[in-house]
Structure 1
Amino acid sequence: MSLAWLGFVPVLLCASWQTENNADKFPLRMDSVIGVLEDMESHLEGTPDLPVIELFREIGCKSEFCQLSPLPATPASLNLPYLSEKQRSFLRHLQNHKSNGSWVEYGAVLTPDGTTVALSPLLGGIAGGLKRRQEGAVPAPPWLKDPVNNTQAELCPKMDSLLAPLATDLAVAFSLYHAGQASVLLGPNGCWDNISAPHTFTLLSPPSPLSDAVINGAMDGVILGTYLAKNASSPSSISNLLNEYYAGEGLAGDNRTRSNFRRRNFADLVSEGKLREQLESSLCLLRHLHSSHPLLNGTGHKDVASLVVQAVEEFTAQYVECPAIIPRCMWEAQPYRGTPTQLQLPLSFVYIHHTHRPRKPCRTFPECAADMRSMQHFHQVVRGWDDIGYSFVVGGDGYIYQGRGWQWVGAHTLGHNSKGYGVSFIGDYMEVLPDGFALELVKDNFLQCAARGSRLKANYTVYGHRQVVPTLCPGDRLFQEIKTWTGFKERCFMKQGIRHCV
């Protein structure tokens, strides 16, 4: 069985013994973390910054490399004596982010938007924002101390406290790959054993040193840390900040500054040039921390410069320019019925659809996941198809949802299913357009990403469903919109001796 086939199987490990063993544990959800923070804040009144900094040191900042990252000064560890044993057990489970030989990833939690974040880089970015707030207008020293001799030698440029968690993780990941100690550069995503009460997160393919969960956490840390640095009096607590960002209406009530839009918001805050600069600083520090370690032995300045360029290009292409795709296991897809047929990539076409029913775009992960299950049920049970017909579905929550995916022939455009991907917007778009961000997600991210990843040919063609099948799909208004997209072409045919073009 190929690894790609796993995309069709929800990785749900809900055996009864797991349920029993996990009954007395907090589920690995963001609201569990927020609950612990609220208890810490109630015991540390008058010190709103200290709880999250202490939580960061307790959960994730254990390594020598991490301890040298710029963080606010704090008292000696409080050891969190006021927390219950159940809460301390929960935190111990989240310590020292890692993945094991069975592809289980530790140190991550499920967020309300259906994505997974590692806590260490998230809390590190928030701590960095608090550090920047403390510094105010006073510039930080431009150089780090030599960690070996503890001198002020001008060895490494100072790391930005906000970008330090992401930059250091990137430095380690690409150094391991460069040294041949990792077979994968970045990723992957994974699946929870249970969406309602998650306890085990299993990766969908072999782990890299920098998983999707780590990158999600680091991006969120940059976004939240920046907000804290710029808004000294808001919010009243970090637990409120996390609630607003993950489960509320966004920071300061702005719906677009929620976790659903982390990739776009991160791109607005961090340029490729800035990320390269911070990665150079991190690699410099890594070399001095591990002067006798084989990670970077034999690499000169040109090699390091090349590594930095490669790292930033790979990261930007995969996690900034490409859209986030919610895998089948997260919307709790039923298994494919039968044996799927593999597509012959790269493909030449993308066929744009609307669902018509559901008529309204979903706005949250639970709504979108329910719509996906409803459509799959209709396609499998009512129409008798093997699976949901679409290759991908665009939600109104800022995410694309995996249908049959990149590898398998769909059932979306009769007579053309093996020639292209079927991409459908949830909703009825006869008279109105999808939200602008949903259109941009497909036009500016999905199509370019698919072409760059050799899934679509560079000269791909975009068609509306109605151009190849007698139908009103994808709706009059949406069809007028896609006529303006790069790759759109009229399709002409002869009917009763007359040439027609649509």
Structure 2
Amino acid sequence: MFLMWLLGLGPLLFCISASADNLTFHIGSVTGILEDLEYHLKGPPDLTMTELFQELECCQSELCQLFLGPVTSVSSDLPYLSEQQIIFLKHLVNHKVDGSLVEHGVVLTPDGTTVSFSPLLAGIAAGFKRRHETTLLDTPLITDPSNSSNVELHLALDPLYATTIAMDLGKAFLLFHTKQTQVALGPNGCWDSISAPQKFTLMGPPSHIPDAFINGAMDGFILGTYLAAKADPISNISSLLNDYYGGEGLEGESQIRSNFRQQNFEALVSKEKLRKQVEISLHLLWRLNETSPFFEGITSEELMFLANQAVEEFMALFVECPAIIPRCMWGARPYRGTPTQLKLPLAFVYIHHTHTPAKPCRTFASCAADMRSMQRFHQDVRGWDDIGYSFVVGGDGYMYQGRGWHWVGAHTKGYNSKGYGISFIGDYMKVLPDAVDLELVKNNFMQCAVRGAKLQANYTVYGHRQMGHTLCPGDRLFQEIETWKGFKRRCFMDNGVHRCI
């Protein structure tokens, strides 16, 4: 791990490294092991969590026990689990990236995203801890962390924030600031196999918290908050995870599942509180490591600046920007030939619907199948180099990468190099896409593209029908985009007739 120097303790949840060759790194493997454990323990779910922490040696550090409480279980092993199962779990809670950019301690979920198990587990543990506290006090107000005692700083840290995202987000920007990492956040990666995942390789230089860690941290925060606030205790942890990942959602609410982690995290997290939690985390680390060269010459003002920068970039990239499933995850064929680079920033966004498939996909498996089908049609029937669209909106809460941010597409004849082609899966002549899918494009995508200098701030939105002879993107969807910021009428001559549409 990047921070073995920090506190001399490593990350908050650090366990022995091990290999697990015969279990696939899918969340289903985790829930299967938990079901075995819960069957034998026959106790409340927090007992399962205590047993896991004891066996996996996950909370041995003083800092971890400060946040999550001391490990008090009298058991030192789990005879109900096989050696292979225990090795598998120990591998999962040891999050790290090796020299070949393989990220360890992560699992694939049914929604097509990858999560780190450590912050997920920490969030669940923090949720149980908060639930069992007899008195819930507001976080003490720390106006000047540099003049606060270590005890005051400890008390000011909310365990749920600290163990999932705040502490590691602060570390990530400290490492980037001191040039120990090339990037502050990310990147995403690709599995060697979707059906039997074993190796997850990052697409670029790693930060302290790659995308999978951030996904796990957000999920840990969401589930921890849910557990702390739930009126009735849950029956077991495995059901909680099954409902959240790939199930019907928590308590049957389809929007409270991993597909919508960004929206749910944003609804739960105060940006100002997160900023304060990151700032206090950095001051605590500074106080405990004043002799470390990483803190040499650093000031309280610089730590405040790092906290502000960390929260602004994190919220922009991982909460406000849409989550995009990369090509490697939906099983894209290679691009045929050599792609042409777009000249950024672009000035236009062209809205499409697929028409065929005619219905929106609702799961990663069906959306990925639709993407592969469209790519085959575009390459094999139309003879294009690749799927034509820049990005595609599934009905599962995600956007899917087509030709992406940098390659010229084949979506709007005569205008492919001038703008991004965004298509909604489905036929929208008479109905609209779901509100959450519209929001992904109308606000999240547009703002993200402008912020990232991919799209001009004064961008123009057109429907495909405005650029050629087509009914795309459907009558009802076209009526919708007429209300969007940036939409403009387009006037042109059509067979000698002046038309405006």
Normalised by the length of structure 1, the TM-score is: 0.91
Task: Please report how far the alpha carbon of residue 75 of structure 1 lies from its aligned counterpart in structure 2 after TM superposition.
Answer: 2.0
Match of 1:102 in 2: 100
Task: Please report how far the alpha carbon of residue 98 of structure 1 lies from its aligned counterpart in structure 2 after TM superposition.
Answer: 0.4
Match of 2:245 in 1: 246
* CA distance in 1: counterparts of 2:53 and 2:460, whole angstroms: 48
The verdict on how the C-alpha distance between 1:339 and 1:53 changes in structure 2, with shifts beyond 3 A counting, is: farther
Equivalent in 117, 124, 140 of residue 126 of structure 1? 124
Q: Is the 8 A contact 2:170 2:306 kept in 1?
A: no
Deviations 1:140-193 (A, max 9, x none): 78499xxxxxx9753455211211121111111111111111110100111000
Q: Is the 8 A contact 2:389 2:402 kept in 1?
A: yes
* CA distance in 2: counterparts of 1:156 and 1:298, whole angstroms: 24
The verdict on how the C-alpha distance between 1:60 and 1:492 changes in structure 2, with shifts beyond 3 A counting, is: farther
* CA distance in 2: counterparts of 1:272 and 1:454, whole angstroms: 24
The verdict on how the C-alpha distance between 1:73 and 1:136 changes in structure 2, with shifts beyond 3 A counting, is: farther
The verdict on how the C-alpha distance between 1:349 and 1:138 changes in structure 2, with shifts beyond 3 A counting, is: closer
Which has the higher mean CA deviation after the structures are superposed, 429-438 or 485-494? 485-494
Matches of residues 42-61 of structure 1 in structure 2 within 5 Å? Answer: 42-56=39-53, 58=56, 60-61=58-59
Matches of residues 231-380 of structure 1 in structure 2 within 5 Å? Answer: 231-380=230-379
Q: Is the 8 A contact 2:45 2:234 kept in 1?
A: no
RMSD (Å) for aligned C-alpha atoms: 2.0
Task: Please report how far the alpha carbon of residue 498 of structure 1 lies from its aligned counterpart in structure 2 after TM superposition.
Answer: 4.2
Task: Please report how far the alpha carbon of residue 40 of structure 1 lies from its aligned counterpart in structure 2 after TM superposition.
Answer: 1.6
Instruction: Give the secondary structure class of the aligned counterpart of 2:226.
Output: helix
Task: Please report how far the alpha carbon of residue 113 of structure 1 lies from its aligned counterpart in structure 2 after TM superposition.
Answer: 0.4
The verdict on how the C-alpha distance between 1:408 and 1:137 changes in structure 2, with shifts beyond 3 A counting, is: same
Task: Please report how far the alpha carbon of residue 55 of structure 1 lies from its aligned counterpart in structure 2 after TM superposition.
Answer: 2.9
Task: Please report how far the alpha carbon of residue 285 of structure 1 lies from its aligned counterpart in structure 2 after TM superposition.
Answer: 1.8
Task: Please report how far the alpha carbon of residue 287 of structure 1 lies from its aligned counterpart in structure 2 after TM superposition.
Answer: 1.2
* CA distance in 1: counterparts of 2:105 and 2:21, whole angstroms: 18
Which has the higher mean CA deviation after the structures are superposed, 457-466 or 152-161? 152-161
Aligned residues: 475
Match of 2:88 in 1: 90
Match of 1:18 in 2: none
Instruction: Give the secondary structure class of the aligned counterpart of 1:499.
Output: strand
Instruction: Give the secondary structure class of the aligned counterpart of 1:462.
Output: strand
The verdict on how the C-alpha distance between 1:198 and 1:152 changes in structure 2, with shifts beyond 3 A counting, is: closer
Match of 2:217 in 1: 218
Matches of residues 332-481 of structure 1 in structure 2 within 5 Å? Answer: 332-481=331-480
Q: Is the 8 A contact 2:126 2:224 kept in 1?
A: yes
Instruction: Give the secondary structure class of the aligned counterpart of 1:180.
Output: coil
Deviations 1:402-451 (A, max 9, x none): 00100101110001111111000000000000000000011110011001
Normalised by the length of structure 2, the TM-score is: 0.91
Equivalent in 79, 88, 101 of residue 77 of structure 2? 79
Q: Is the 8 A contact 1:394 1:425 kept in 2?
A: yes
Task: Please report how far the alpha carbon of residue 290 of structure 1 lies from its aligned counterpart in structure 2 after TM superposition.
Answer: 1.7
Task: Please report how far the alpha carbon of residue 42 of structure 1 lies from its aligned counterpart in structure 2 after TM superposition.
Answer: 1.9
Instruction: Give the secondary structure class of the aligned counterpart of 1:472.
Output: coil
* CA distance in 2: counterparts of 1:47 and 1:366, whole angstroms: 34
* CA distance in 2: counterparts of 1:286 and 1:40, whole angstroms: 36
Task: Please identify runs of 4+ aligned residues in structure 1 that moved more than 3 A.
Answer: 59-68, 70-74, 140-144, 151-157, 495-498
Higher RCO structure, 1 or 2 (CA under 8 Å, sep 6+):
1
* CA distance in 1: counterparts of 2:443 and 2:75, whole angstroms: 47
Match of 1:154 in 2: 152
Instruction: Give the secondary structure class of the aligned counterpart of 1:162.
Output: helix
The verdict on how the C-alpha distance between 1:224 and 1:54 changes in structure 2, with shifts beyond 3 A counting, is: same
* CA distance in 2: counterparts of 1:455 and 1:39, whole angstroms: 49
Quick one: which amino acid aligns to residue 280 of structure 2?
S
Deviations 1:65-122 (A, max 9, x none): 4444334753256332331022022123213200011110000000010000000000
Task: Please report how far the alpha carbon of residue 217 of structure 1 lies from its aligned counterpart in structure 2 after TM superposition.
Answer: 0.4
Matches of residues 5-44 of structure 1 in structure 2 within 5 Å? Answer: 25-44=22-41
Quick one: which amino acid aligns to residue 222 of structure 2?
I
Which has the higher mean CA deviation after the structures are superposed, 88-97 or 425-434? 88-97
Q: Is the 8 A contact 2:20 2:87 kept in 1?
A: no
Q: Is the 8 A contact 2:191 2:201 kept in 1?
A: yes
* CA distance in 2: counterparts of 1:23 and 1:320, whole angstroms: 33
The verdict on how the C-alpha distance between 1:60 and 1:377 changes in structure 2, with shifts beyond 3 A counting, is: farther
Structure 1: runs of 5+ lacking an equivalent: 1-21, 145-150
* CA distance in 2: counterparts of 1:501 and 1:143, whole angstroms: 59
Quick one: which amino acid aligns to residue 30 of structure 1?
I
Match of 1:187 in 2: 186
* CA distance in 2: counterparts of 1:227 and 1:92, whole angstroms: 26
Deviations 1:199-244 (A, max 9, x none): 0000011111111011100100111111111114242111111111
* CA distance in 2: counterparts of 1:381 and 1:141, whole angstroms: 60
* CA distance in 2: counterparts of 1:435 and 1:486, whole angstroms: 19
Task: Please report how far the alpha carbon of residue 138 of structure 1 lies from its aligned counterpart in structure 2 after TM superposition.
Answer: 3.9
Quick one: which amino acid aligns to residue 220 of structure 1?
D
Quick one: which amino acid aligns to residue 111 of structure 1?
T
Matches of residues 159-174 of structure 1 in structure 2 within 5 Å? Answer: 159-165=157-163, 166-174=165-173
Match of 1:8 in 2: none
* CA distance in 2: counterparts of 1:312 and 1:369, whole angstroms: 32
Task: Please report how far the alpha carbon of residue 394 of structure 1 lies from its aligned counterpart in structure 2 after TM superposition.
Answer: 0.1
Match of 2:4 in 1: none
The verdict on how the C-alpha distance between 1:152 and 1:211 changes in structure 2, with shifts beyond 3 A counting, is: closer
* CA distance in 2: counterparts of 1:487 and 1:89, whole angstroms: 54
The verdict on how the C-alpha distance between 1:385 and 1:141 changes in structure 2, with shifts beyond 3 A counting, is: closer
